[in-house]
Structure 1
Amino acid sequence: MRGQDRTGSAHTRRRFLQMAGVSAAAAVAAACGSDTGRGGGGGGLSHWYHQYGEDGVEEAVRRYAAAYDRVEVSVQWTPGNYDTKLLSALQGGSPPDVFEYQTKADLVRAGTLAPLDDVIGDAKDDFSAASLASHTFEGSVYGIPQAVDTQFLVYRKSLLDDAGLEPPTSFEALVDAARSLTEGDRKGLFLGNNGGTDVLGPVPLWSNGLDYVTDDHKAGFDDPAAAEVFGGLHDLFESGALLLGAPTDWSDPSAFLQGLTAMQWTGLWTLPQIEEEFPGDYGVLPWPAFGGDGSASVPVGAFGAMAYADGPMVEEAKEYIKWLWIDQTEYQEDFNLGYGFHIPPRTSLAEKADELASGPAAEVVGFVDGLGRPSSPPEWTPAMDSAYKDALTNIIKSGKDPEGELKAAAGTVQGELDKIFG
């Protein structure tokens, strides 16, 4: 479901790939855009969605709610900063019964999210591993994945061929290709207008064998290997080979379609536009490995349907979630492919989707299955993400000392981890 806004003011489904950074203490009025799926009334369930950008999504989710006949469901379509409004409502006096969000350890620890193991039941094995990992904390499932989005590199085959280049499969080759493909008004690579600082997330860490957080709940990037990766990204930023200040950002394919860049980091939702413009003349790649201990990867994000644990109708909420996101497979297929271009989180639905069966789209599905990792795992909180992104900005854009910046960010992250796991 590709969004209408390209500057970040409207929230679309890809927003969950970069949701962290919201203050949990923000006090913003949460009630806006409310309507009723079946006519409304007291004693029913409230179901919150953020504002999707594609035409038809709002009408679809209201139609799904209207078809539920066990209890009335009031759908709230929430424009603006959904993250802040939702967190404010969950901490205040008017939390929704059902809502879409990411599973977060601090919300679990606070008793906000109801476990949904009994809801997912035997269907658990049908969900892709990466989508389910985003919503599993300490062995329990707290969100039923609704849709899978991912990011990857896209490149013009003809431009690489003309330059005598192979598709880059290492970070070093990516940098070399970006430099070689920079010519005139065209840059070699576009990682977003901030040079990737606000979108790459954990991907550079994975490329060198690291991660946000270790298995024993330690900050995973206070490491010379991380400093090496981000130092390399700073060198790329300064090389003149990156497109910066494009009319639209990484989530929109316009820079690639207009020939402003030969390669771009973007998302699955852009493939229909790219296919229309360059049929047969583009390819897709995962983010390449940096060093010998790392690997190629793609980030995977999946909003999940959740139930407020302290709600007066928590059992009814869970029954409704099961009906909508487990039983009604036709709605799940419609939600993923009827209004945009996304991967159904259930393998059985993804496998029969004609749109994903061949070409670059099928390659991306393969990336998700074989190389996909959660872009924002449950233990990664907004406060951690803010500190990490600040460090990336200081290193990549401002050229500050990578080891010092990462150590400072790791200290903040460790403090947050100690609150959760200590």
Structure 2
Amino acid sequence: MSAMRNTNWDRRTVLRAAMGLAAAGGLAACGSNNGRGGGSGSGTSLTQYFHAYGEAGTEQAVKRYAKAYDKADVSTQWITGSNFESKLFSALLTDNAPDVFEFHPQIQLVKSGQVADLTDIIEPVKDDFNQADIASHTIDGKIWGVRMIDDPQFFYYRKSMLEDAGIEPPTTLDELVEAAAKLTTSKVKGVFLGNSVTPVMNPLIWSTGADTLDDKNQIAYHTDAVADGLGKLRTMFKEGHLLLDAPADWWDPSAITQGLVAIQWCGMWAMPVIEKALGDDVGIIPFPASGPGGKQAVTNGGWSMFVNAKSKHLDEAKEYVKWLWIDQKEYQEDWALSYGFHIPPRTSLAESADKLKTGLAAEGVKLFNEFGHFDNPAWTQAMIVALEGVVADAVRKGGSAEAALDKADRTVNRELKKLFG
């Protein structure tokens, strides 16, 4: 879901700072107003944190689900602005910490004792979840979060603009560079990769056949093919073929719906809005293959529900999460399909989701299944920020890709040593 979907970007630095402070033990309380209600008949009050999703109706839906729960009084903090993580992690260090919160699977949450083990509530239905989601939430043999939605990200393109320029949808990065040049006019830019260009760093790595880390949790992204790919992004940037000043960032489809760009990186959540604006004049493709061992790539983002291990109402919080995100399939389906398009992580719901069975949505599901890359919980915030620095140094500033990757290696290796010794 769009508005805060840039979970990797500007806010990463804030979160890294917050986590550093968390490790040091010092963040002041965020104030005493925790938004908790007066309690239900059970006498238990729970608070849940959500970032502000962009699609209309999402806040009302979350609050409607919570209101339907009769074993506790559940209040929702709907956190607007671009600093959801900093507010979440600041709050987690205080007496006003949420009992339940959404985030992404991250190993440091487990190692710091911040999230509760949810194996007991997920185990009975584990086989009905996308097994890649189960794997990404499993650390030390235990399952730590419940996936709510899976969010594939890929390129949308204007069919008519490509036809007018006489080009086919790109299947290689070289073809994307050529397309960007041919599609750029005085009024339209060829490609939108986000205002910072950072959203496509991971897909670029995957498109070469490489990965962020290997199965021994060692650096796997620093290859000649990745350095070469960064050079191709630099070419598009330097030649002025990338849209860099869009009124809204990559997670919002307005750049392509308003005709500012011919090809835009965005998420499946935006598909209904894009189709409403452009009708049949839109197609989707994965991030194109790059380099000799290359393969097309799709990012699978998404959000998961976690329970604060330090909650004063730990059992009640787990019971609520089980009720909403495991037992209430009607609400899970509503959340995935009524406010933009998301793939339900529950296999049974994904298979019965009629809205995803035809047209562009069915293509999106196919790309998700064929080319998708899921969360790696060992890939931490500091590592993400380090690779954003690679894009800034090598693509935006035009520095040496090798030097930028070397610089990232130092940060990533330091983090890996902290996590794994």
TM-score (norm 1): 0.90
Choose which of 99, 105, 108 in structure 1 pairs with 2:107: 105
TM-aligned CA deviation for residue 114 of structure 1: 1.4
1:318-357 map, 5 Å: 318-357=318-357
State the distance in 2 between where 1:204 and 1:95 align: 37
Choose which of 125, 145, 166 in structure 2 pairs with 1:164: 166
State the distance in 1 between where 2:208 and 2:28 align: 39
- 1:137-164 CA-to-partner distances (Å, cap 9, x unmatched) read 2432211011122211111222222333
- 1:58-97 CA-to-partner distances (Å, cap 9, x unmatched) read 2222222222223332333333422112112223333222
1:276-355 map, 5 Å: 276-355=276-355
State the distance in 2 between where 1:52 and 1:28 align: 27
Q: Secondary structure of the residue that 2:320 maps to in structure 1? A: helix
Partners of 1:134 and 1:301 within 8 A in 2: no
1:23-422 map, 5 Å: 23=17, 24-25=19-20, 27=27, 29-30=29-30, 34-36=35-37, 43-80=44-81, 81-194=83-196, 196-197=197-198, 199-374=199-374, 376-422=375-421
TM-aligned CA deviation for residue 30 of structure 1: 4.0
Which deviates more from structure 2 when the two are superposed, residues 268-277 or residues 172-181? Answer: 268-277
- 1:340-371 CA-to-partner distances (Å, cap 9, x unmatched) read 33222212212222321111111111111221
Which residue is equivalent to 1:9? none
- 1:192-245 CA-to-partner distances (Å, cap 9, x unmatched) read 222x22x11311110112222121111222332321121221122112222222
Which residue is equivalent to 2:24? none
Partners of 1:49 and 1:76 within 8 A in 2: yes
- Matched AA of 1:131: D
- Matched AA of 2:86: T
Percent identity of equivalent pairs: 45
State the distance in 2 between where 1:102 and 1:208 align: 25
State the distance in 1 between where 2:195 and 2:379 align: 24
Which deviates more from structure 2 when the two are superposed, residues 23-32 or residues 220-229? Answer: 23-32
Q: Secondary structure of the residue that 1:184 maps to in structure 2? A: coil
State the distance in 2 between where 1:190 and 1:281 align: 17
- Matched AA of 1:341: F
State the distance in 2 between where 1:393 and 1:141 align: 35
Q: Secondary structure of the residue that 1:302 maps to in structure 2? A: strand
Q: 1:215 to 1:155 in 2, by over 3 A?
A: same
State the distance in 2 between where 1:41 and 1:231 align: 60
Q: RMSD of the TM alignment (CA)? A: 2.2
Q: 1:352 to 1:38 in 2, by over 3 A?
A: farther
TM-aligned CA deviation for residue 168 of structure 1: 0.9
TM-aligned CA deviation for residue 335 of structure 1: 1.4
TM-score (norm 2): 0.90
Partners of 1:333 and 1:344 within 8 A in 2: yes
Q: Secondary structure of the residue that 2:299 maps to in structure 1? A: strand
TM-aligned CA deviation for residue 303 of structure 1: 1.3
State the distance in 1 between where 2:52 and 2:258 align: 28
- 1:277-298 CA-to-partner distances (Å, cap 9, x unmatched) read 3222211001011023231111
Choose which of 6, 12, 21 in structure 2 pairs with 1:20: 12
Q: 1:356 to 1:75 in 2, by over 3 A?
A: same
Partners of 1:37 and 1:62 within 8 A in 2: no
- Matched AA of 1:334: D
State the distance in 2 between where 1:206 and 1:397 align: 21
Which residue is equivalent to 1:8? none
State the distance in 1 between where 2:363 and 2:28 align: 41
- 1:294-335 CA-to-partner distances (Å, cap 9, x unmatched) read 311111112111112233332222222111101100011111
TM-aligned CA deviation for residue 39 of structure 1: 5.1
- Matched AA of 1:382: Q
Q: Secondary structure of the residue that 1:316 maps to in structure 2? A: helix
Which deviates more from structure 2 when the two are superposed, residues 38-47 or residues 341-350? Answer: 38-47
Partners of 1:107 and 1:113 within 8 A in 2: yes
- Matched AA of 1:20: R
State the distance in 1 between where 2:28 and 2:341 align: 32
For structure 1, the 5+ residue unaligned runs are 4-11
State the distance in 2 between where 1:416 and 1:312 align: 31
Partners of 1:37 and 1:74 within 8 A in 2: no
State the distance in 2 between where 1:97 and 1:416 align: 28
Q: 1:396 to 1:238 in 2, by over 3 A?
A: same
Partners of 1:145 and 1:304 within 8 A in 2: yes
TM-aligned CA deviation for residue 33 of structure 1: 6.7
TM-aligned CA deviation for residue 126 of structure 1: 2.1
